[in-house]
Amino acid sequence: MSKNKKKIFSGGLGQLTIPVVAIALLVIFNLIRDPSFFGVDLAHNNDGNIVLSGNLISIINGASELAILAMGMTLVTAACGGQDISVGAAAAIAGSVFVKVLKTSPEISGGKVLLAFICACIVAMIFGSFNGTLVAIFKIQPMIATLILYTCGRSIAYWINGGATPTLSSPIITAIGSFIPGIPIPTPVLIVIAMAIVFKLLFKFTALELFTQSVGINQSAARLNGINSTFIKLLSFIILGVCVAVSGSIGVSRLGLINHETLLLDVEMDTILAVAIGGNNLGGGKFKIGGSIIGAYVIQMLTITLYAMKVSSTDVKAYKAIVIILLVVIGSPVVKEKFGKFMSKLLENRSKETVKGA
Amino acid sequence: MMKNNNGFKREPLTDTQLLMSITIAIFFGMYILAMIILQGGFLHAQQVFDMLNDNASLIIVSCGLTVVMIGAGIDISVGAVTSLVVMSCVLYLNGGGNIVGSILLALGIGLAFGLVQGFLISYLDIQPFIVTLAGMFFARGMTTILSVNPQKVEHDGFAALRSVKIEINALGYTAPNGNFIPARMELGVVVALLCVVFIFILLKYVRLGRGFYAIGGNQQSALMLGINVKRTRFLSYIISGILSGISGYVFMMHTGAGNATNAAGMEMNAIASSIIGGTLLTGGVGNVIGTFFGTLTLTTIKKIVVSSGLNQPWWQSITTGGMLCFFILLQSVVLNKRNAKKK
């Protein structure tokens, strides 16, 4: 009996406690503040299509790039016990390659977009394997290894563009960045769902999840069991590369232009935060990709909530910081333990009282 | 080492000393090469002083970061705290404050960040990256809440303090138009050098400083040696916080204005300086003298790129990245080789 009690108070949902509680708190807060906050309408957009609109849709839509990056980052975090801080810079490079290939000739066709995306993927995977090589083979801590690309990535993107910020205008790009005619759901959201399904299938039909976890928990033990930890680490960075290419391409399509300085600015910090809010240990080991995805939506919901409360976009960071600290303090093992003890004491006293009363 | 002359075997260099000597050697090698090949400004002592003047606050911040990194932590809030300190001190001085008050304010803000972050990290056991990331967001957000527009200091006492420059005639040079220009050094550089010396002594000769190495090297062993691990870690963040406060003041003395984008990206530059100087993010290895030379190396690379005619805006950071890559690989290869030998 007492064992069960303890389990409930030290987090019944396990790893997903923090993200689920956070999202629930935000939803409740918003409903109290403004009951119509989550209202979803069907409206005509500028192109005359019927599309979904409302705060909820803009939250889900806006968090797409972040959610995709968070999936890849979770794998890297789990396998290497460290984070890739170059995702924003790498996304700028991938986006530049995407635009560069599309700009080779004036007309843009579906096949060409696919080709451009594949090129962006290959480049992002090359940069991913560069980071991966430093981490897996040269045994450098991930944060330091990726600091190199963080420092020079956006400049490389600038270099690829030849010092310009080229724009794209084509119905296909608009379809990727906002809505496909006839479908009311924003395309980036569909891409997130597709990516999530790909990851799910990957984990279902390969042993990637198990191998990644074992490498993250104990590398030597994993090696003794015949797992090639170098390869797993490298693979996690290459998979992150694909995620980076996808979100870079979405980011470019959304705006219709590539700006190497502002494309997915500061996204690396948000991504790591999403992974942490998702209840994943930043030191590696067990992971849940679902947690990270929820984490990404928590961050976006927080941002949109603050915007709705008329906080200016530059000031949002300060409020975000306070919420982050509150979340991690609630989630910290020390506080959890203290709280659990306090609650069980409270319950004990109450049960004693009831015994006395009887 | 003392008995070297009597035929005893010389003690091998520690990891810290080895990495530091590589950095210092590369710095001097690079600078001498620049003097021979590029000449120009590199032949004047003022070049070194300029590098110090521009980077005094970066040096101070890097010192704090080195301490935290030796203790196996990380503090990425330093740049944002610097920016917040600049903005608040500028507003305080313009609102009729005095110099002493502004210095206390700078130290107070730094200390407050150090206290809160240190408490959350060491006593509540939360990951340092997340806590200091939140600290960074908070400081950046507070800076823009204070003022979005750039603010210039309009305070006579501060202007007088800012104009104090140390002039060394012996190192000066005669400009092409015949005027003699002595080498000038700002007051901030003196503060930065004092910080380096202070942290060096702390890390080398003080019990607390040795404690940082102990908790960074192996937390469990440190605990068994009777070191108060939590308190030591707490203090490392406080040192880093106070140094960010000082750095903010020095930054203000250099620029004389507060701007929301001040010190942008400084945390990564500081981490890079520490790494180039031979500090490992895993903890237990590092030296503040190395960090000092790391900062200078980083600046020298940028200066060389500019003066060798690569004018496009992207070359500076691409070469910085390349250099960083070189240093990181070098350290990894050297350390792996040594560890393989030990086994």
Whether residue A324 lies inside any domain: the answer is no
CB within 8 Å of chain A, chain B residues 247-266: 260
CB contact under 8 A, A332 and B126: yes
CB contact under 8 A, A328 and B134: yes
> Digits of tens for pLDDT over chain A (358 positions)?
444 444 444 444 567 777 888 888 888 988 888 888 888 888 777 777 788 888 888 899 999 999 999 999 999 999 998 889 899 999 999 999 999 998 888 888 888 999 999 999 999 999 999 999 999 998 888 888 898 898 889 999 999 988 788 888 888 888 888 888 888 889 999 999 999 999 999 999 999 999 999 999 998 899 999 999 999 999 999 999 999 999 999 999 998 888 888 888 888 888 988 998 888 887 788 899 999 999 999 999 988 888 888 888 888 888 888 887 887 787 777 887 888 888 888 888 877 777 665 5
Tens digits of residue pLDDT in B40-80: 777 878 888 888 999 999 999 999 999 999 998 989 899 99
**Confidence category of residue B331, pLDDT binned at 50, 70, 90:** confident
Q: Which of B135, B148, B321 sits opposite A321 (nearest CB)?
A: B135
Q: What is the pLDDT of residues B10-21, one digit of tens each?
A: 666 777 788 888
> How many domains in chain A?
1
Strand B165-174 to strand B180-186: parallel, antiparallel, or no bridges (unpaired)? antiparallel
CATH number of the domain within which A46 lies = 1.10.3470
Residue A125 resides in a domain: yes
Residue A321 lies in a domain: no
Among candidate residues B138, B127, B28, B8, the one with its CA nearest the CA of residue B79: B138
pLDDT of residue A10: 42
pLDDT digits (tens, 9 = 90+) for B208-245: 999 999 999 888 999 999 999 999 999 999 999 999 99
Answer yes or no: is A81 within a domain: yes
| Structural domain of A233 | 2-304
What residues of A are in contact with residue B120 (Cβ under 8 Å)? 325, 328-329, 332
User: Is residue A139 included in any domain, yes or no?
Assistant: yes
Residue closest to A256 by CA, chosen among A45, A36, A32, A95: A95
Partner A, chain B 174-233, Cβ-Cβ below 8 Å? none
User: Is B181's pLDDT higher than 90?
Assistant: no
Q: Tokens 């629930």 map to which residue? A: A24
> A161 to chain B: which residues are within 8 Å by CB?
none
Kind plus residue range of the DSSP H or E element containing B256: none
Indicate whether A358 belongs to any domain.
no
Cα A68 to Cα A65: distance, rounded to the nearest angstrom:
5
| B332 to A140: CB separation less than 8 angstroms, yes or no | yes
Residue A345 lies in a domain: no
**Residues B278/B23, Cβ–Cβ less than 8 Å:** yes
The residue ranking higher by pLDDT, B339 or B8, is B339
Domain residue spans in chain B?
A: 57-171+179-264+280-288
* Beta pairing partners, A50: A44
Give the length of chain A: 358
> Hey, are the CB atoms on B314 and A159 less than 8 Å from each other?
yes
Q: Which residue of B has its CA nearest to A316?
A: B141
Does the interface predicted TM-score (ipTM) exceed 0.85? no
Above 50 in pLDDT, residue B187? yes
On the CB side of B313, how many CA atoms lie within 13 Å of its CA?
11
Residue among B124, B320, B325 whose CB faces A335 most closely: B124
Task: Look at B141 and A317 and tell me if their CB atoms are within 8 Å.
Answer: yes
Q: Is a pLDDT exceeding 60 seen at residue B8?
A: no
User: CA-to-CA distance for A123 and A99, rounded, in angstroms?
Assistant: 13
Other Cβ atoms within 10 Å of B86 Cβ, number? 31
* A chain contacts of residue B315, beta-carbon cutoff 8 Å: 155
pLDDT of residue A25: 86
pLDDT for B41: 74
Of the residues A143, A151, A220, the best mutation for testing chain B's interface (the one with the most B CB atoms within 10 Å of its CB) is A151
pLDDT of residue B4: 45
Distance CA A281, CA A279 (A): 6
d(CA B200, CA A353): 61
Shortest CA distance to A272 belongs to which of A80, A125, A129, A74? A74
Distance between B47 CA and the closest CA of chain A, angstroms: 24
Cα angle A80, A333, A321 (rounded to 5 degrees) comes to 75
Interface contact flag, A272 B126, Cβ < 8 Å:
no
Pick the range with the lowest mean pLDDT from A61-65, B108-112, B227-231, B309-313.
B309-313
CA dist A128 and A126 (Å) reads 5
Write the residue in B313, B314, B328 that is nearest to A140 by C-beta. Answer: B328
Q: Is A357 part of any domain?
A: no
Q: What's the Cα-to-Cα distance from A2 to each of A345, A347, B342, rounded to whole Å?
A: 11, 10, 51
Q: Do residues A73 and A83 lie in contact, with contact meaning Cβ atoms separated by under 8 Å?
A: yes
pLDDT above 70: percentage of residues in chain B:
96
pLDDT score, position B10: 60
